[in-house]
Amino acid sequence: RVAPEPYPEGRPVQVVAHRGASEDVPEHTLAAYRKAIEDGADALECDVRLTADGELVCVHDWRVNRTSNGRGAVSSMELADLAALDFGSWKGQNADHEAPERFDGEFDREFDEDADRGLRGSGRGGPGDPGERSRVLTLRRLLELVADTDRRVELAIETKHPTRWAGQVEERLLELLGRYGLDRPAPGTSSQVRVMSFSARSLRRVRLAAPGLPTVYLMQYVSPRYRDGRLPAGVGIAGPSMRIVRANPGYVARLHRAGHRVHVWTVDRPEDVELCARLGVDAIITNRPRHVLAQLGR
């Protein structure tokens, strides 16, 4: 058993950009994370999945169908296959997500910058090449963005589908974080990265291999064994959904009393932001960091 981290008192609520500034910009693209940083977000949330050739990419769904012009499972595609798809144009075409503009300029610049890093995949940059407009984001590229940012921005990385890969997602994740010196806190500081999951097993793997990394146990509902505010052994942070908090605001205090910080997702409605602030949650995970920061007077 690994002891949970102590609960630091008096920390202000963190605003975490869910999938980047994903209300304004297509989710999980470099442009979405750039925008979140510009907007002043304290932290960035991203989901990671393994490709068939062992790359970690930032994609939420198990298939690429919703957020790209391709079809198929991320796990069955190589990075080069994903790099040929357009992960940007869908947003403007989806009635639920009216994009104010297309993001071609941003993607073009990124595409050129990444050409030398071997991340360009099969895209060739010719007319009509979807890679020119938008491209899948690797975790490696996101770590570079965070490293290049001139202020501290934290990263909340969610392992997706960890059971299918029996440890490979976590292994690859920790290897990558290690390369950037992000698999443990720098001396005298708190960790810049935390790992989140709905899977307690995935978090346990992380804790055992990298005890310095905080872990967040995500909850869509509260299992009877955790109703009293306890979490799976060694997990320091609770990640209840906004629906849980709305239905049972007292649960936040219970988690705090048990020594856990509380990171709530996905908090977009002003009344939910207000409730979270009133309850003293530790992080608000939102698709609209700009609006939440403004509402909190920051």
Interface residue with ligand G3P among 5, 24, 42, 45 (CB under 6 A) is 45
Q: Choose the contact partner of 218 out of ligand G3P, Ca ion, none; CB within 5 to 8 A by kind.
A: ligand G3P
Between 60 and 133, name the residue whose CB sits nearer to ligand G3P. 60
- Asked about 60 being catalytic, the answer comes back as yes
Q: Give alpha helix (H) positions in the chain.
A: 30-39, 79-83, 90-93, 104-115, 139-148, 162-165, 168-179, 200-209, 242-247, 250-257, 270-279, 289-295
Under 8 Å between Cβ of 296 and 40: no
Whole-number Cα distances in Å, 13 to 58, 66, 235: 25, 32, 20
Q: Work out how close the CB of 266 gets to ligand G3P at its nearest, in angstroms, rounded to a whole number.
A: 6
CA gap 272, 282 in Å, rounded: 14
- Asked about 18 being catalytic, the answer comes back as yes
Q: Choose the contact partner of 86 out of ligand G3P, Ca ion, none; CB within 5 to 8 A by kind.
A: none
Under 8 Å between Cβ of 81 and 122: yes
Between 19 and 290, name the residue whose CB sits nearer to ligand G3P. 19
Binding to Ca ion by CB under 5 A, coded x per residue (else -) over 122-161, reads: ------------------------------------x---
User: H or E element: which one contains 197?
Assistant: strand 193-197
Q: Examine residue 47 and tell whether it contacts ligand G3P (CB under 6 A).
A: yes
CA gap 120, 154 in Å, rounded: 26
Beta-ladder partners of 187: none
Count of residues touching ligand G3P (by CB under 6 A): 9
Q: Work out how close the CB of 250 gets to Ca ion at its nearest, in angstroms, rounded to a whole number.
A: 25
Between 84 and 203, name the residue whose CB sits nearer to ligand G3P. 203
Under 8 Å between Cβ of 213 and 173: no
Q: Examine residue 27 and tell whether it contacts Ca ion (CB under 5 A).
A: no
Q: Work out how close the CB of 67 gets to ligand G3P at its nearest, in angstroms, rounded to a whole number.
A: 12
Question: Would you tell me which residues interact with Ca ion (CB under 5 A)?
Answer: 47, 158
Q: Which residues belong to the active site?
A: 18, 60
Question: Would you tell me which residues interact with ligand G3P (CB under 6 A)?
Answer: 18, 45, 47, 60, 158, 218, 239, 265, 285
